A and B are shown apart, each in its own frame.
Chain A
Amino acid sequence: MSLLASRPTALIQARWGFFIFTQFLVALVAFVLLAGCGPSVNRYLLIEASLRAHDPKGADAIVAGAEKDYGAKSRVLYGMDRGMTLHLAGDYQQSNAVLEQAEDEIDRLYTRKIRTESLAFMTNDTALFYEGDSYEQVLINVLKALNYALLGQWQEALVEARRIDHRLNLLSDRTQEKNAYRDDGFARYLSGILYESTGDVNNAFIAYRKAYETFESTRSWSHTDVPSQLRADLLRTAEALHFTQEFAEYQQAFPNTKWESSQALQQLAQVIVISYNGRAPRKEDQFLDLPISLNALQLVLLNRGLSQPNRQSNQAMDTVLYGLNGRVVRVALPRLVPQKTHVPIDTVNLIPDHGMKVAVNTELVHNVTALADKSLSERIAGITVKALARATSKFAMAEGATRGAQHAAGKDAGPWVGLLVGLVTKGFAVASEEADKRSWQTLPDEIHLARVWVPPGRYQVQGSAGGFHNPLKSEAMRTLSLGPGETAVLIQRVMP
């Protein structure tokens, strides 16, 4: 190891002699190559800070202010981020408007532009239009459905439930592999709740059944159990529809589940609590520097020894070193960084004007981090092949340009010109390599849900999280006035 490390030092020193003479030029080249690659202020940190301070309107203002920074290629991402912050800020109508735009844009992006694909092949995947992962696209409709439910527009919420069904059917048709993300337990479950809340018990039962099957089949990678409330919902709707065979099967499958009949709940009011816990995972660059000569291998090893990999600040140094060496091919791949929540369970208290308070415990229904992980692992093979092909093409073109320039400059100036052109073209090949790190980061790490039926009346809603172990408190919510048969939806954001 020490032998390998000692040789490139001498080589670098020899090259640094040249570097001193041309430092101005190199600095200029590096500046040009890296223009636009500098770290912009991480808006997601600011959004998180606002959410921690129970200021969703401030978080929304940050996203709105950064609209131009998202750029034309990330209109869908802007719509998703903004849709979520507007939803948290209580502006459900505007949230739906931006989410609808994002959905329309995704529809348009079905048609791929060859020139955009070509540009991405010459540079990196961030040049592509962002259309979101499949699970993110489904969550757009989920969020819209919740917005409509919060506005009391139940028929419109059902339109979103139908769209969820259509989107998931398409996904299922398109995805052959059985263990892949081809259905969505939470989206199905929420659709069932919406159908049941509007009196359509038959469609509710079908949605619950699909949700149950999906939770069961994806348990190994989604790390989400079948919610206990869903078991009760299946029993209740199967009984209400007189589906005796299904009812008997579910009774056998869930012997310990407590449930009440639809008739018993008819005169009560329903409260649905949706809790967004923690932060969605982020993505970062994972650089693979592939040397194609022994010298280059030594340089890569030395460089990795001297500097921490994947740091933005080290990219300029890498660009110059690898550009000068000319025998290093860089490949950038996205890597998921989970940001798991520390809140395992949250409780919402409903305090009536008269009588005992009702404590509602939510349970995990959607593990966004697990879904993001699954989605990336399904795509990483394709991303890697594409990245390798791109890196090889970029290197071949740079090599061609260097040799062409050397040949054109003649014998005397050839080595100098070749070195400079090689520095620029190969430096560009290294500097332009960047993984597509875009993802819907205003999502939570986990979504929790609770359903409870309470006697009609007025309730003070008090949100809390973390139970007795963590005194983290979310903002106080509101007063509810509930009539018999009515449904209220409550949302809360719990950080971290």
Chain B
Amino acid sequence: MIVMDRGRIGFVALVVLMLAGCAQETKITRVDSGVVTDLSGRWNDTDSRIVAESMVKEALEYPWLNNFSSSKRRQPVVLVGTIQNSSHEHINVGTFVSDLERELTNSQKVTFVAGKGDREELRTERKEQAMYAREDTQKAPGKEIGADYMMKGTIATILDEAEGTKAVFYQIDLQMVDLESNAKVWYGQKKIKKVIEKKRSIF
């Protein structure tokens, strides 16, 4: 009898253990876009947003902005150029560029103009307007505002890994370059370091 009871307990325990692994299912939770979600340790939306916010803020605090405004009596015109990905990850640079553009536009301290890709689309639209739109609503060519400065930079990584622990070091370098003189009026650098630890074995 005692043997039977032990056998039953053992059987039930075995079934519970076997079913424990079957309890996974998809679970979706809505979270605020500002919530930090570090899942894999890779470059994510939080990194993109934080870097863009802090670097644009820093860039606009430096004297080049006031120097330009006081000498030319207008806001400088800025555009975002190429942000080169020199990292170990396939980073969506477009999202980072959008974050930079948003921060620059919303700062109200500079006039922001469309980048190369957008300009092509706008010019095509103007050409089509010249052919198909009513004359009094057509937008004439040759009235674009030329940029005074271009913001460009790189995202680079240094990886170090051993025994399941990985240290990822991101270095984002941004610079504001005077389009007339090629002088670099501002150079900003932001560093992010992440340590990702993986267990060698679990049950």
Contacts and interface: CB of A to CB of B under 8 A. Distances in A.
A304 interface: no
Nearest to B89: A159
Contacts of B200: 110-112
A159 B21 contact: no
A155 B156 CA distance: 12
B90 to A, nearest CB: 5
A311 interface: no
A112 B88 contact: no
Given A155-B84, A166-B161, A113 B202 contact: yes
Contacts of A112: 200-202
Interface string A103-119: 01000001111110100
B66 interface: no
B199 interface: yes
Contacts of A111: 164, 198-202
Contacts, number: 43
Contacts of A166: 88, 159, 161
A113 B88 contact: no
B162 interface: yes
Nearest to A159: B90
Contacts of B171: none
Contacts of A117: 201
A156 B40 CA distance: 20
Contacts of A114: 201-203
B162 to A, nearest CB: 6
Contacts of A159: 85, 87-90
Task: Name the interface size band of chain B.
Answer: 20 to 34
Task: Name the interface size band of chain A.
Answer: 10 to 19
Interface in A172-192: 173
Interface in B31-86: 40, 84-86
Given A110-B200, A166-B159, A115 B21 contact: yes
A28 to B, nearest CB: 24
A114 B199 CA distance: 12
Given A156-B90, A159-B89, A173 B162 contact: yes
B89 A115 contact: no
Nearest to A115: B203
A170 B161 contact: yes
B88 A163 contact: yes
Contacts of A158: 86
B88 A162 contact: yes
A96 to B, nearest CB: 9
A110 B164 contact: yes
Interface in A353-387: none
A111 B200 CA distance: 4
A470 to B, nearest CB: 41
Contacts of B85: 155-156, 159
Nearest to B41: A107
B22 to A, nearest CB: 12
Contact of A113 (B86, B157, B164, B201): B201
A145 B203 CA distance: 36
A117 B202 CA distance: 10
A173 B159 CA distance: 14
Interface string A318-343: 00000000000000000000000000
A113 B162 CA distance: 20
Contacts of B159: 166
Contacts of A173: 162
A110 B159 CA distance: 17
B168 to A, nearest CB: 11
A420 B196 CA distance: 53
Contacts of B157: 162
A170 B88 CA distance: 14
Interface in A136-184: 155-156, 158-159, 162-163, 166, 170, 173
A100 B85 CA distance: 18
Contacts of B40: 104
Interface string B158-183: 01011010000000000000000000
A197 to B, nearest CB: 16
Given A166-B159, A166-B161, A173-B162, A113 B87 contact: no
Nearest to B18: A115
B164 to A, nearest CB: 6
A333 B71 CA distance: 81
A166 B90 CA distance: 15
A151 to B, nearest CB: 12
Nearest to A116: B21
Nearest to B93: A155
Interface in B3-30: 21
B167 to A, nearest CB: 12
Contact of B198 (A110, A113, A115, A163): A110
A298 to B, nearest CB: 39
A107 to B, nearest CB: 8
Contacts of B202: 111-114
A115 B87 CA distance: 37
A104 B161 CA distance: 16
B184 to A, nearest CB: 21
A315 B202 CA distance: 35
B166 to A, nearest CB: 10
Nearest to B17: A115
A117 B203 CA distance: 10
Q: Which of B21, B88, B198, B199 has the most CB of A within 10 A?
A: B88
11 contacts: A111-B164, A111-B199, A114-B201, A115-B21, A156-B90, A158-B86, A159-B87, A162-B87, A163-B88, A166-B161, A170-B162
Interface of A: 100, 104, 110-115, 117, 155-156, 158-159, 162-163, 166, 170, 173
Give me the 9 closest cross-chain CB pairs, A-B, nearest first.
A112-B201, A162-B88, A110-B198, A111-B199, A114-B203, A166-B159, A159-B90, A163-B88, A111-B198
Interface of B: 21, 40, 84-90, 157, 159, 161-162, 164, 198-203
Given A166-B159, A166-B161, A173-B162, 13 more contacts: A104-B40, A111-B164, A111-B199, A111-B200, A113-B203, A114-B203, A115-B21, A117-B201, A156-B85, A159-B87, A162-B157, A163-B88, A170-B161
